[in-house]
Amino acid sequence: MILKINYKTILENYRIQHEIKKRHKNFYRPFAPLEAPTKSGNPRRIEALQEIQDLIFQSEWYGARAAAVDLITIGLEGLRYLQTYERTLLRTIATIAYAGWAAYASLFVFKPGGFPAARQSPVISATSFAVLASFWGLFFSEQAPWTYYLYVTFPCYFWQRFLSQILPLLKLSTLNVSRRHAWTTISRVCLVFAALISMVVAYTHRSIWSIGFLVIGFVWPVFWSSEERVHVAGSRWLWMASCITTAIFPLLSVDKTETLSSILLGGAGIL
């Protein structure tokens, strides 16, 4: 009896959420293992319920129990499918938004010198507004939460600002700057963009932090000018040693246990 209540409750919860998604989503794709049509034209979940009922009427208790367990498993998968249905969309929007923020922020880190102030491009502004209006219209028709409107606003804003600033760098024929200087600036912007993206990935792959510290410790000094090398000649090796030491920590386990020796060593280091 308990098993019967469980699979019926799970399927009823699934059915309600399925109907809500089907009613509001414009391009809704149902959960195939439960919604695939059978020979009778009914969804698979209806046929599965009927099969269990037939087994119970025939006193096939073991078969009914096995079928109910399978239906519960598929029903839970269907609930998870519906609950995470928009996860891919939200992840894509968040990724594009962060990439746009990284690109836009890179312009301030390496702000081009000698370039005229960027003007608003009507084409870029119109395209950004069209994309934003399209998503807002889609969310409105689907009765999406108000936070979705904010999610899609950020990538449109950041990329609109970035493209408005970066396009003058690509139009070298209209700028009174050398080609080498322009592409040096663009390469620096791309470098900052890649560094910011790597920092995000490093939160789940901590070894990237170690690679980054080794890069700034050994690769970055190679590109210093001769004046900078002379100015920091005494502390260059200290810089490399500190980067190596710092690169070790991301490789260590995050589960730390307190020991008296480490506490005393840390206190001595502070002093």
Question: What pLDDT digit, counting tens, does each position of 14-31 carry?
Answer: 888 888 888 888 888 888
Sign for the pseudo-dihedral over CA of 101, 103, 106, 110: negative
Q: Give me 78's structure tokens.
A: 């269907």
Give the CA distances from residue 160 to residues 124, 127, 134, 179, 188, in Å, rounded to whole numbers and listed in that order: 6, 9, 16, 24, 20
Annotate 200-237 with b (16+ C-beta within 10 A) or e (fewer).
eebeeeeebbbebbbeebeeeeeeeeeeeeeeeeeeee
CB atoms within 10 A of CB 82: 18
Question: Which pLDDT score, from 0 to 100, does residue 173 have?
Answer: 44
CA distances for 80 relative to 13, 32, 36, 73, angstroms? 11, 13, 17, 11
| Number of C-beta neighbours around residue 72 at 10 A | 17
pLDDT confidence band for 206 (50 / 70 / 90): confident
**Extents of the domains making up the chain:** 1-84, 87-175, 184-269
Question: Helix, strand or coil for residue 237?
Answer: helix
pLDDT tens by residue, 86-105: 888 888 898 888 888 888 88
The conformation of residue 29, written as its DSSP 8-state character, comes to -
Distance CA 26, CA 184 (A): 46
What distance in Å separates the CA atoms of residue 77 and residue 15, rounded to the nearest whole number? Answer: 13
Q: What pLDDT, in 10s, does the model give residues 152-161?
A: 999 999 998 8
Question: Token pair for residue 240?
Answer: 């490399």
> What's the Cα-to-Cα distance from 101 to each of 209, 212, 236, 248, rounded to whole Å?
21, 20, 33, 30
How far is Cα 160 from Cα 101, in angstroms, rounded to an integer?
Answer: 11
CB 212 within 8 A of CB 198: yes
Residue-wise pLDDT for 106-128, tens only, equals 777 665 555 555 566 788 888 89
Q: Looking at beta carbons, which pairs linking 27-32 to residues 24 or more positions away fall under 8 Å?
A: 31/77, 31/78, 31/81, 31/82
pTM: 0.58
